[in-house]
Structure 1
Amino acid sequence: MKQVEIRLNISAVAPLLDIIKLAADDLRTTLAIPTALPEPDAEFNDTWTQDLMAAQNSDVRELLGLFDSDFFSDGAIAIDSNNCDSLLRGCSALRLRILARWLAEVSPEVLEDEDAPVALIPLEKRLPFAAYTFLDQIQKIILEHLDPLGLEGEGTAENGEQKAED
């Protein structure tokens, strides 16, 4: 099993975790992405929504679990191939919530530009922006080092199909 350990500056991450926890609290009763319910049956839709919310909250709890007392003693989080899918989904849900709650007025160009000057972000939005960016970096590390799509050791044919290497 592959594992990545990330060492973080505790004093820099702690304020970001405050924003992330507020977003997580919001997600306890709200889906990160509103659903288009496929059935006119209210009971089915309620059950389906509750199942989606339970899965979303499980993913968010898995992510928040990385920042436990061990993290606050040594500043390290460990991500492995067993938890990377859940962590990717948890980061996505939290980023969407942060975007909707605090960053809706920030242009998408600024949000996605890694070299955007901080001065382009209003002062009161900088901490949520940093939390949004922090979660983005966790996702990038997972995608780069843990191969959650299971593509390691496989080639890609010209038509886009995957093939095993000899």
Structure 2
Amino acid sequence: MKQVEVKLSLPVVEPLLEFVEPLFHQLEKDELPQVGLDGVDPEMLDFWKSGLLGSQRSDARHLRALFDSEFYRSGRVVVSEDQTEPVLRACSAMRLKLRTGPLAGIPDDRLEAG
């Protein structure tokens, strides 16, 4: 099975993990916005939302699991082939959380410039 292994600096990453930890919890309990969903069959909407939220929660758990005790020992994050899609989806969700939350006041061009 293919995998990606990344070595990260613990002194750099650990404070970032502490910063995003509350966002992981938000992803676990989030509700979906009601934008553009008027007129949708309520039963179908509930089914769709529960599936989407279930996937988001599962994806967030995949991403969070990368930073386990092995990571704190070695600084290594290993993403297996079957984890790639959930981890990428969770990273996208986390990016949106950051963008609409703690980083909301920073213009896009400034964020992209670093």
TM-score when normalising by structure 2? 0.87
State the match for 1:129 in structure 2. Answer: none
Q: Which amino acid aligns with 1:104?
A: A
* Unmatched 5+ stretches in structure 2: none
Query: What pairs up with 1:60-99 in 2 under 5 angstroms?
Result: 60-99=60-99
Q: Which has a greater percent of helix?
A: 2
Two-structure CA RMSD over aligned residues (Å): 2.0
Comparing 48-57 with 35-44, greater Cα deviation is found at 35-44
Q: Which amino acid aligns with 1:68?
A: D
Structure with bigger gyration radius: 1
Alignment check: 8 A CA contact 2:32 2:49 kept: no
Q: Which amino acid aligns with 1:17?
A: L
Secondary structure of the residue that 1:104 maps to in structure 2? Answer: coil
Alignment check: 8 A CA contact 1:39 1:45 kept: no
Secondary structure of the residue that 2:101 maps to in structure 1? Answer: helix
1:49 lines up with 2:53 in the alignment: no
* Unmatched 5+ stretches in structure 1: 117-166
Secondary structure of the residue that 2:6 maps to in structure 1? Answer: strand
Query: CA deviation digits over 1:27-82, x for unaligned, max 9?
Result: 22225776543753223212211210110111111000000111111110101221
Alignment check: 8 A CA contact 1:3 1:80 kept: yes
The alignment-based identity, stated in percent, is: 34
